[in-house]
Amino acid sequence: MISRINNALVLPAALAATLGLSGCARPSVAIDTPITQAELAPYKKAGQATIEGSASIRGQDGKVSTCAGQQVVLAPAVAHNRETVAAIRAGQQPVAAPNVGSSHRYWRKAACDARGRFRFHNVPAALWFVSIPVHWPDEPKQGALLQEVRVPPAGTVRVQLTERDVVR
């Protein structure tokens, strides 16, 4: 198991905390876009697609660390969650407004195998976020490997998370 990828994952209403960024000193921004039942409808359906992927990062020392043994989260990329991610990428601390709803019920979890690979079966066609929290032992910052993935009605989508997918 590689120490750069953190096994602890908190699943709060705000995606920011999922990414390990809730305690960062950043300017706050309210995310008040509601999560509606209509927007969640595609995530409720039975799916016929598969997401297969791998995750690795190269440290400052040049060593490659995989996500072996770590948890991967597949979360609906509804408007509220997309706005949360956009705020994080803009250096802001997103704060969910009261009563916006939650997509947590439709989140899926998988574990990376010994080779740093993961798989989600029976995924419905929709836009999803694939994320893995990351902690750098030599830095106080935390973040995630995060990628938005469009899943078709059937077939296999391949995802590779690397340094280019880091969100802090």
142 CB-near residues (< 8 Å, 6+ apart): 6, 19, 20, 21, 133, 134, 135, 136, 168
- Under the banding of pLDDT at 50, 70 and 90, the label for residue 133 is confident
Residue 98 lies in a domain: yes
Q: Could you tell me the CATH number of the domain that includes residue 24?
A: 2.60.40.1120
pLDDT at 136: 63
14 vs 30, which has greater pLDDT?
Answer: 30
Condensed to tens digits (0 to 9), the pLDDT of residues 56-106 reads 988 778 888 899 988 999 999 999 999 999 999 999 999 988 889 999 999
Please state, in angstroms and rounded to a whole number, the distance separating the CA atoms of residues 113 and 69: 6
Residue 7 lies in a domain: no
E-state strands within the chain: 28-31, 48-58, 64-66, 71-76, 93-96, 108-111, 117-123, 126-135, 142-151, 154-161, 166-167
User: Among 77, 138, 72, which Cα is nearest to 108's?
Assistant: 72
3-state secondary structure of 65: strand
pLDDT at 24: 53
Q: Please give the tally of structural domains in the chain.
A: 1
CA pseudo-torsion sign 44, 46, 49, 51:
positive
- Structural domain boundaries enclosing 78: 15-167
Query: pTM for the full model?
Result: 0.83
Residue 10 lies in a domain: no
117 vs 60, which has greater pLDDT?
Answer: 117
Residue 2 lies in a domain: no
